[in-house]
């Protein structure tokens, strides 16, 4: 990810944690884009007086299921994914490399 894009993400994440964190003390962010590349960052404090880092270990529990379902339904609404699509439809090269 280009430096300017990282600065924009950092500004958004910092202000989101500050203005909408609802008591959260840290925010961990990761993006993996085949064109822009990878960017992983941590913001805020992992513990009082201890800066959050990407090396921190946190439990996020079952909330990832909600994130995944929301992302899938958003893609369906945008017409980029069908609920009955299979992995063979979406990533045929990967399926060919790893047949069942």
Strand, coil or helix: what is 13?
A: helix
Low-confidence stretches of the chain (pLDDT beneath 50) = none
Residue 46 dihedral angles phi and psi, to the nearest 5°: -75, -30
CA 100 – CA 94 distance, rounded (Å): 11
The pLDDT assigned to 82 comes to 94
- For the chain, the residue count is 100
Check residue 99 and give its pLDDT: 80
Question: What predicted TM-score, i.e. pTM, was given to this entire model?
Answer: 0.60
- For tokens 């529990």, the residue is 61
- Cα–Cα distance list, 63 to 12, 21, 74, 92 (Å): 22, 16, 17, 29
pLDDT score, position 25: 92
């Amino acid at each position: 990810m280009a430096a300017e894009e990282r600065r924009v993400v950092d500004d958004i994440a910092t202000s989101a944690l500050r203005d909408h964190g609802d008591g959260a003390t840290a925010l961990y962010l990761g993006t993996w884009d085949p064109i822009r590349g990878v960017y992983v960052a941590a913001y805020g404090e992992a513990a009082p007086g201890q800066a959050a880092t990407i090396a921190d270990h946190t439990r996020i529990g079952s909330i990832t299921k909600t994130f995944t379902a929301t992302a899938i339904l958003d893609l369906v609404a945008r017409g980029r994914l069908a609920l009955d699509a299979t992995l063979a439809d979406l990533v045929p090269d990967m399926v060919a490399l790893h047949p069942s």
